[in-house]
């Protein structure tokens, strides 16, 4: 019966190794975030069991679910102004800023600071929503992405755009309540800020190369339009947001400190 041992052991190894590798990668990413930007771990959980109410993109983007989330968020924003008409565009703009503002920074840091890359497919990401209807915490199933691991900084950030961000923007734009360009404008500002914060970690050359690609290149490497092109523009020696995010139109929400309308 000894001849059966090798195939059985190989089967066990094949079954166990991916789980062990995922655990090791999750630990590496978690340790890196804890060392470099520990506050990010407040809203991204790696290889932890998500709560039952957490939803994947495919689940929360269903019209009935997204509509309820938006209604809950609108009720929160306008609760002290019940007679004021609801404005859908700034509501969804701010809702998207919460979603992408919590999801993008830890993923960007993980992609640029770890040798191994993890899969960014939406099915690996569950979102826990706050009682007010906006995103509160992301629960990530860590799965190694071998092709992405071989990519450069630019290739990895392209994957972040294509796999993690584009489906979110498309889902929100499909509601007809907002133009995706506004969401991308907000997100370009976010990514530019993140890169500025990461300059001591990455070095000026890497940051400049990423900014050149992200904000000055019209196309992605696959020929599609780059949605972040000119979302920030040079002014007085700095890259600044190109358009207003519209949040000031909501009651109780102040203008950004560098609002384009000032």
DSSP 8-state secondary structure symbol assigned to residue 165: I
Confirm whether 84 is domain-assigned. Answer: yes
131 in a structural domain: yes
Give the up-direction half-sphere exposure of residue 189: CA atoms within 13 A in the CB hemisphere: 18
| pLDDT on residue 248 | 85
Identify whether 9 is part of a domain.
Answer: no
pLDDT value at residue 195: 98
Contact 226, 218 (CB under 8 A): yes
Q: Which of 170, 171, 214 is nearest to 194 (CA)?
A: 214
Euclidean distance between CA atoms 106 and 119, whole angstroms: 14
State the Cα–Cα distance between residues 247 and 255, nearest whole angstrom.
Answer: 7
Is residue 260 in a domain?
A: no
Residue 66, pLDDT score: 98
Enclosing domain of residue 96: 19-249
pLDDT on residue 11? 40
Which residues of the chain are modeled with pLDDT < 50?
A: 1-16
Is this model's pTM higher than 0.95 or not? no
User: How far apart, in whole angstroms, are the C-alpha atoms of residue 136 and residue 73?
Assistant: 12
Q: How many CB atoms lie within 10 A of CB 237?
A: 5
Closest CA to 230 of 170, 189, 169, 183: 189
Helices (H), 140-256: 146-149, 153-159, 166-173, 180-202, 204-216
Beta strand 44-46 with 135-140 is parallel
- Residue 14 falls within a domain, yes or no? no
5 in a structural domain: no
- Residue 7 resides in a domain: no
Distant-in-sequence, close-in-space partners of 238: CB < 8 Å, separation ≥ 6: none
Q: Is 100 exposed, middle or buried (0-12, 13-18, 19+ CB in 10 A)?
A: buried
Provide the domain count of the chain. Answer: 1
Residue 6 lies in a domain: no
């Amino acid at each position: 019966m000894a001849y059966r041992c090798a195939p059985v052991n190989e089967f066990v190894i094949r079954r166990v190794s991916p789980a062990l590798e995922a655990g090791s990668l999750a630990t590496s990413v978690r340790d890196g975030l804890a060392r470099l930007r520990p506050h990010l771990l407040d809203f991204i959980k790696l290889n932890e069991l998500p709560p039952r109410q957490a939803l994947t993109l495919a689940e929360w983007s269903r019209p009935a679910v997204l509509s309820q989330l938006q209604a809950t968020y609108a009720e929160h924003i306008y609760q002290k102004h019940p007679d004021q008409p609801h404005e859908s565009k700034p509501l969804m703009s701010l809702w998207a800023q919460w979603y992408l503002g919590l999801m993008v920074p830890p993923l960007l840091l993980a992609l640029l600071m770890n040798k191994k890359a993890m899969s960014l497919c939406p099915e690996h990401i569950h979102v826990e929503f706050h009682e007010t209807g906006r995103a509160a915490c992301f629960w990530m199933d860590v799965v190694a992405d071998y092709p992405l691991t071989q990519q450069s900084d630019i290739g990895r950030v392209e994957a972040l755009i294509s796999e993690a961000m584009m489906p979110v923007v498309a889902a929100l734009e499909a509601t007809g309540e907002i133009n995706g360009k506004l969401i991308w404008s907000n997100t370009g500002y976010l990514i530019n800020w993140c890169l500025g914060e990461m300059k001591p970690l990455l070095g000026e050359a890497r940051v400049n190369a990423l900014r050149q690609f992200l904000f000055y290149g019209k196309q992605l490497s696959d020929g599609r339009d780059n949605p972040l092109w000119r979302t920030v523009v040079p002014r007085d020696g700095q890259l600044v947001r190109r358009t207003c995010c519209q949040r000031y139109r909501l009651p109780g929400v102040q203008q950004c400190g560098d609002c384009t309308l000032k």
